[in-house]
Amino acid sequence: MSIDLSQRATGKHVQLMATCLCDAFYANAARSTVEALEHVGCTIDFPEAQTCCGQPAFNGGDWENSRKVVNHTLRVFQGDLPVIVPSGSCAAMVFHGSPLQYAGRPELPAVEQMANRTWELFDFLVNGLGIKRWPGRLDARIAVHHSCHTRGTGTGDAMETLLGSIEGLELVEVTERDQCCGFGGTFSVTFPHISKSMGCIKIERLLAAAPDVVVSGDLSCLMHLKGLADKEGRPMKIQHAAELLTAALANA
């Protein structure tokens, strides 16, 4: 089952799905997302009853409990407004994973309706609102990690388009840029040794270009890579890509 991503709802009145990781660990990423959206003229609704997109249970094969979480999300994010997510992984769960697990079920139309409203942040800014340049200046060399869940979506190119337009910001070339970080949620728990090996290879690729900071639109990947790098004694600064947008605005 596939959602036509070219037909998603757009507009400048949006709902924000902040994600579990923003809530638990990375509040600055959610704050920067709000500031970036407000900068381009968006009005933001934040449903306070939101919890999780349902992806952990979905990836673990527990679709029964994943659907319970998704059902709650559907109730919380009712309406027709675009839903903006500062996570390619969580966004992909909404517009790809959820419809898969509801195939043939009576809730499917409601799931597809939300899928057709959901965007990852950079995909929304560039492909939804048509913003190709970002104001301000930021003097830094950055390496961009492209998560597996953003493959086949507009997120990767959108992120590089917008970040690359910031004056002073240099995007360094990363070999095998689509290589997985090895996290995969429950994969890293079930297959820790494989996950670590994949992550260490990715760290080698990212740090080979000597960036000042490694950025991504997926905090789960960054958390995994940062943890491995710290354990390996290889300092690596990470930031959510939205944080660079607001940092540049501060120098506008």
Split at pLDDT 50, 70, 90, the class of 89 is very high
Classify each residue of 163-202 as buried b or exposed e, where b means 16 or more C-beta atoms within 10 Å of its C-beta. beebeebebeebeeeebbbbbbbbbbeeeeeebbebbbeb
pLDDT at 2 over 60: no
Choose one of 127, 161, 184: the last residue of a domain.
127
Question: Quick one: 15 and 122 in the same domain?
Answer: yes
Q: Are strands 137-145 and 213-216 parallel, antiparallel or unpaired?
A: parallel
Question: Quick one: 109 and 147 in the same domain?
Answer: no
Cβ atoms of residues 102 and 111 within 8 Å: yes
Do the domain assignments include residue 185? yes
Question: Quick one: 94 and 189 in the same domain?
Answer: no
Q: Could you read off the pLDDT of 70-84 as tens digits, one per residue?
A: 999 999 999 999 999
CA distance 111 to 102: 8
Choose one of 86, 112, 127: the last residue of a domain.
127
pLDDT at 176: 86
Question: Quick one: 47 and 138 in the same domain?
Answer: no
Cβ atoms of residues 159 and 132 within 8 Å: no
Q: Could you read off the pLDDT of 153-207 as tens digits, one per residue?
A: 999 999 999 999 999 999 999 998 889 999 988 889 899 999 999 999 999 999 9
pLDDT at 90 over 60: yes
- Phi/psi region, residue 61 (left: phi>0; alpha: psi -120 to 50; beta: rest), is left
Question: Quick one: 230 and 245 in the same domain?
Answer: yes
Read off the pLDDT of each residue in 202-231 and give the average, rounded to a whole number.
Answer: 95
Number of domains in the chain: 2
pLDDT at 252: 84
Do the domain assignments include residue 1? no
Choose one of 81, 104, 127: the last residue of a domain.
127
Question: Quick one: 93 and 109 in the same domain?
Answer: yes
Query: For position 149, which CATH number holds?
Result: 3.40.50
Read off the pLDDT of each residue in 32-40 and give the average, rounded to a whole number.
Answer: 98
Read off the pLDDT of each residue in 111-115 and give the average, rounded to a whole number.
Answer: 95
- Per-chain mean pLDDT for the chain: 94
Cβ atoms of residues 71 and 107 within 8 Å: yes
Do the domain assignments include residue 5? no
Task: Quickly tell me which residue has 């090996």 as its tokens.
Answer: 197
Residue 217: helix, strand or coil by DSSP? coil
Split at pLDDT 50, 70, 90, the class of 1 is very low
Split at pLDDT 50, 70, 90, the class of 248 is very high
Amino acid at 73: T
The parent domain of residue 173 ranges over: 132-249
Read off the pLDDT of each residue in 24-36 and give the average, rounded to a whole number.
Answer: 94
- Alpha helices of the chain — where are they, by DSSP H? 20-24, 27-39, 55-59, 63-76, 88-92, 98-101, 108-115, 121-123, 155-164, 186-190, 192-207, 219-231, 241-249
**The whole model's pTM is what?**
0.95
